[in-house]
Structures are given as structure tokens and as C-alpha cells.
Amino acid sequence: MRILITALALALLSGCAQNPVTGQNDFVMMSESQEVATGRRADVQVKKQYRVYESKALQDYVNRVGQRIAKQSHRPDLQYHFTVLDSPEINAFALPGGYVYITRGILAYLNSEAELAAVVGHEIGHVTARHGVRQQSAAQATNIGLTIASIFVPEIGSTGGQNIANIVGGALLSGYGREHELEADRLGAEYLARTEYDPQAIIKVVGVLKNQELKDAELAKQEGREPRRYHGLFASHPDNDTRLQQAVGEASKNAAPQAHFEGREEFLRSTDGLLFGDSSDQGVVRNNRFYHGELGITVAFPKSWQVHNLPDALVAVSPQGEAMLQMKMDQKPRGIPADYARRLVGSGAQVRSLDLDGLTAATFELPNTMGGVIYHNRYAYILQAQAKARGGLSTHRNEIFDTVRSFHSITADERKLVKPLSIRVIIARTGDTYAGLAQGSPLGKSAETYLRLMNAQYPDGEPQAGQRIKIVE
């Protein structure tokens, strides 16, 4: 009852709970200025968690495309911010108040400015229909207490594993559910139709990302990593999705006469040289082994665990999520590793000194936490496992200590794996095939599949002579 009264009071206070898209009153407890303030606060968290991609030219390009569409939206007066994030994840998302993000990971799979506009238009649709705000209000009303800011605050060190889901998931990153996603697609198509882009680009882009998702699930298994999927995708392929076809078809009917600009050349020129996959300054993960070239270290996490290489944390989570193992670095360690370990977890712990092929180290063990401290080039690396519940580490004891013992200085061969990859646009010559281009590619045994997906020629088709295509080197 008290919740309901508070909710009503807030709705009255905020006054403008009218939905910009439907014109109807929503159950929304937030005024536009509150919405913008919420977005601005969360924007700081997003940029901390995912860094901003360092290319002014690319940021400007995405911003130009975004602003053009935003002006034709249901909320043209809102101040929009478009940011390319330095993440290999395939994602785009929006915060309330006009903050829109697109990863360099998703850009790698797009092939035209119209497709970029489609992704951005979909996210603007989430903003104009106030999906984030509506979701947050619903959560407040049912007293779940979910706030947008908390989704992006890890706090793993202090509280154990229970916030892991918040780091890698969260409502904003995983989408808003079928109805809201479809609405965002419909609005995106409508905005494209009012500019110079073909609304059908929405269906095209959903198809490209759906193919990527289906294939990536297989590739991820082979490579021992998490699959990369876009939040706005659902079970059916867009070719069989009649509701999506209908929503976009409606927009196409009303499209402006000039709405057929594809902008393939413009897009490929702007994304030539784009970083692909993990970037080297935050290390790379291959087959669950983490490599860091500049620090000169490598460590192998348990085979079945999910490794998350986030800018501010390296975290591995056990298959059932009951245990997690985090690696931290201390640039000014004091004393020998055994002393360090005792200070870290208390004198009651079982601490053993060990020599890891010339590196001084120590393991520590308590019922609820265990791991090791390794010294390498004046820095200390701390691998510490924690469980959600008491006893949650017991079945993982061997895996955890194997991880500590796997730590070593990077070898010359391993260093080759760390080299960052980037996209290069080339002009196909007569006789070029994806199988041929895949030979000797740093993408390894799945190179042909990746090249096909990136060039939207999956599962078949070959490059035409004179066609611009993307390769990775």
C-alpha cells in the first residue's frame, strides 16, 4: 500500500507522464529532467565499464548518422549522445534520456550506412518510447529496487559472486522483451523512412545479426568463450517473422521518395582499420587462457568456466555460477607472497609458499576463499576465488589451484596470439573466394565463416571482382 501511495505521489509530482510515441499516459514516475539525469549518471558507469573507442573520425561519423535520425524521431528536442564503445561484444543499447551506445563489435558485421542507421534507429526507438524508464518504474512499483546505475556497478571484490549477473547481463544489455523490441524496430523503420534510408535495412540488419548469432553459438563452444549475441534478437529468423515484416512494411509504404540511400562505400571507408576481437591493452582470452602482452603474463582458467575480460576486472565464473575467480593486480606489493596472502585473507588461512618456474608465489586457503599470489616483474597478481554460499568452492579446489599454477611469463609463441586484429577493406579480384581469403588468416580455422558473416555473404555467395570486401589482419 505504501509503495502504491509513493508511486502515485511521484507520478503527480513528475506531471509529464505522457508517452511521446503513443500520446497516452504511461505509468511512469519520472519527469524528462529526471530521465535525463538518470541517463547522465549511468553514462559515466557505462564509459567506465566499456571504454570509449579511440577514433574521433568514427565517433563523428556515427554521431552524424545518429543525429540525423534523432531529428526525425518522436522526441526531436531531446539532446542525443551517440558513442562507439571499445568492446568486441555484439551490442547496441540505449539509456533513458537519449544516451545511445554501439560497440565496435557490432560495426564489424554491418555493411552499409543504412544498416548502421537501422541499429541506431532501433535504439532511438527505445528512447522515444521510454522503454528504459517504463521498465525502471515497473521495477520500483513492485519494489524490486532495480536501478539502472546498479546494473553497471560491479562491486565484486567486496560481496562475492552474487553481482556477476549484473556485470555481464542486466535488463538494459539483454533487451526489453519481445513487445518492446518489436516496437523499437517499428519506430526505427519509421524514422529511417523519414530520412534518406530504406526502412528495409532494419530487416536486413536483423538477418545479418541473426546469422551471426546462430553461427557464433557454435564458434563460441569451439573457442571456449561466451557467445556474442545482440539483445534485440528472438527465436525466429526475420525471414519468417511476419510481425516484423509487417511493422517495417508499414514504414516502407510511407517512406520519403529519397529513402533508398545505402551508403555502402561511406560506411566501409569509415570502418576501415576498425579493431576486431579483443584489444591487446586489456589482454586477450583464447581457449580460456588469458594473455597480456605488455605485462608479459598468461594464466589458464578452468576449461568449463566463463571468462569475462572486462576493462576493470578479469573474472571467471563456474558453469553453475556458484563460484567465481577474479584476478587483480597490485603494483606496489609489500613483503614476500606468503606475507601478502596472510594480510589479504587473515592469519587463520593455510598459506604455502611455492616456486612457479622461477616466480615466487604462495597459495592460500580458507573454507570460503582460496587462491594464490604470484610476483612477476615487481607486480603482484592475486587470483582469488569466492563462492556464493558456504562450501561452494570445495568441488572446485583443484581447478582453482591449477589456475594459480598455470600462471607464467608469456613465451614468444604465445605473444603472437596477443597481436590485435583489425578490419581492412580490400577490392576483390577475379577468382577471389572466401575460402581462399581465409587461408593464412589470423582468424584461424573458422576464418571463412567469419569473413562470410562480416561481409553478409553467409552461408553462400562469393566476392565479385571489383567489390569492396572486409578482411581481418
Residue ranges binding Zn ion (CB under 5 A): 181, 184, 232
Of residues 184 and 344, the one with the C-beta less far from Zn ion: 184
Cα 15 to Cα 12: distance, rounded to the nearest angstrom: 5
Of residues 202 and 451, the one with the C-beta less far from Zn ion: 202
Of residues 133 and 447, the one with the C-beta less far from Zn ion: 133
Kindly calculate the radius of gyration of the chain based on its CA atoms and give it in whole angstroms.
24
Of residues 86 and 181, the one with the C-beta less far from Zn ion: 181
CB of 136 to Zn ion, least distance (A): 16
Of residues 232 and 337, the one with the C-beta less far from Zn ion: 232
CB of 230 to Zn ion, least distance (A): 8
CB of 148 to Zn ion, least distance (A): 15
Q: Which three cell numbers stand for residue 427?
A: 577490392
Cα 199 to Cα 195: distance, rounded to the nearest angstrom: 9
CB of 92 to Zn ion, least distance (A): 8
CB of 75 to Zn ion, least distance (A): 17
Cα 469 to Cα 95: distance, rounded to the nearest angstrom: 33
CB of 89 to Zn ion, least distance (A): 14
Select the residue whose beta carbon is closest to Zn ion and give its number: 232
Of residues 133 and 219, the one with the C-beta less far from Zn ion: 133
CB of 179 to Zn ion, least distance (A): 11
On the 0-12 / 13-18 / 19+ scale of CB atoms within 10 A, 246 is exposed
CB of 34 to Zn ion, least distance (A): 22
User: Beta-carbon neighbour count of residue 231 at 10 Å?
Assistant: 18
Of residues 119 and 373, the one with the C-beta less far from Zn ion: 119
Of residues 94 and 324, the one with the C-beta less far from Zn ion: 94
Cα 469 to Cα 463: distance, rounded to the nearest angstrom: 7
Cα 361 to Cα 373: distance, rounded to the nearest angstrom: 5
CB of 175 to Zn ion, least distance (A): 5
Of residues 181 and 432, the one with the C-beta less far from Zn ion: 181
* Contact call for residues 252 and 185 (beta carbons, < 8 A): no
Q: Find all residues with CB under 8 Å of 393, minimum gap 6, and list them.
A: 323, 367, 368, 369, 370, 385, 386, 387, 400
**339-352 CB burial, b ≥16 within 10 A, e <16:** ebbbebbeeebebe
CB of 231 to Zn ion, least distance (A): 6
* Contact call for residues 343 and 382 (beta carbons, < 8 A): no
The number of residues making up the chain comes to 473
CB of 123 to Zn ion, least distance (A): 7
Of residues 65 and 127, the one with the C-beta less far from Zn ion: 127
Of residues 181 and 216, the one with the C-beta less far from Zn ion: 181
Of residues 88 and 232, the one with the C-beta less far from Zn ion: 232
Helix axes 32-49 and 131-141, enclosed angle (nearest 10): 100
User: Beta-carbon neighbour count of residue 54 at 10 Å?
Assistant: 11
Q: Find all residues with CB under 8 Å of 320, minimum gap 6, and list them.
A: none
* Contact call for residues 99 and 64 (beta carbons, < 8 A): no
Outline where DSSP puts E strands in 99-220. Answer: 99-103
Which residue has cell 570486401? 469
Strand order in the sheet with 289-292: 284-286, 289-292, 297-300, 408-409
Which residue has cell 526489453? 176
Q: What angle do CA 59, 65, 67 make, to 5 degrees?
A: 95
CB of 90 to Zn ion, least distance (A): 13
Compute φ and ψ for 30, nearest 5 degrees. -130, 130
